[in-house]
Structure formats: structure tokens, C-alpha cells
Amino acid sequence: MHYEFTAIPEGEVPVAAERAWQHILATYVSESNKTVSMWRAVPEDKLDFQPHEKVNTIRTILVHQLLSERRFFGQFVGTDEPPVGDLLPPGDRPEVSAYIEKYVWLCQRRLPQFAAGTTRWWLEPRPFFGGLERERVWVFWRRVLHTCHHRTQVQAWLRLAGCHVPAIYGPSGDVKWDEADPTYSLAAADRSAT
């Protein structure tokens, strides 16, 4: 799949201290790039859109993403994170690009720390919510999944607002290409068996 924009190119992904953990860096960059692609699709006039009064606006989701990733990585994974005051763009109503700039900056700061992780480091028990203790790698994957959840919220809000939705894993309702091979049938699902 070819993406319209790549925030962190493959050439900027550091090499892991131990090859077994390279997938951590590759996945983190891939998922971060997908998040940036979704955020880039948000029109400025839709930042405060909310499809229902009981859900967050798109802006609130972006703010939460920046703040909660810092908490997960700093408090639970144990990465060196910037002061909380540096996390959000200045002003009461920053533009989408300002949120993206902060997000990419934070992702790029974490990459060398993840790259330095050894097996011992990744498997070290860490504190988690509710007094639980989990391996550092478990907390990392939990955060990646949480980020996907918030990216999907933005995707759904864009669709409900009548906006363009970019393709991030494959074709979307708005983006298609000839080589796309979505699995919408039993025959497509059975292709690996042939």
C-alpha cells in the first residue's frame, strides 16, 4: 500500500539493540504514521465536531492521545518523557497541524529509547493501573491498541461529519486502487489454502 504522506520514514527507524525487538520499532512507527494520516484528514472546521453530546470532540481525542501516551510511556513503560507543559500546542484552539507536530515529535523522542531496549528491559515487570504489574512489552502493546482505538474514533467522527476518510490499512470507502484485495467473501478468506 502506498500512503499519501509518511511522517516518520522507514529510514528514520533506529535499529534495535537486539534484533528480536525490531518489530516494536517498526510497528510503533507504522501505527504512528497511520495516526498522523488520520489526523491530517481532519478539516480545521471539524476539530470541535462531536457526533453526539455524550462523546468527545475530535480536538479532545487528539489532546487525550498526546496526554495519555505520555502517561502510559512515562509512568508504566518508564521512558523519559518531556514535561507535561510541553505536550500540547500553545493557544486555546490550535490547528490540526500543531497537534500533528507535537505527536510526531513525541514519537521520534521515544524511538531511540525503544531501540535501546534489551530482552531483559522489555520483559521487566512494571506497575500498571489498579495496582497490577505487567511486563513492559505488554504495556507497550496495550498502548498501541489504545492508540488504534482513538484513531478509529477520529475515523468514525470524520465519516459521521461527511468528511473524506483516508485509507490506512487498505481501501476505505473513499480510497480504492486496482491492486487492493479486500477480504469480503468466503472465497477471498480461503485464498491462503490454495
Q: Quote the pTM value.
A: 0.92
pLDDT in tens, 2-60: 677 899 999 999 999 999 999 999 999 999 999 999 999 999 999 999 999 999 999 99
What is the tally of structural domains in the chain?
A: 1
Residues 6+ apart with CB under 8 A from 177: 171
Burial 113-124 (b: 16+ CB within 10 A, else e): bbbebeeebbee
User: d(Cα 57, Cα 49) in Å, to the nearest integer?
Assistant: 5
Q: Which structural domain, as residue segments, surrounds residue 151?
A: 10-169
* 178 lies in some domain: no
Q: Domain of 46: which CATH number?
A: 1.20.120.450
* 30 lies in some domain: yes
* 111 lies in some domain: yes
pLDDT in tens, 123-169: 999 999 999 999 999 999 999 999 999 999 999 999 999 999 998 87
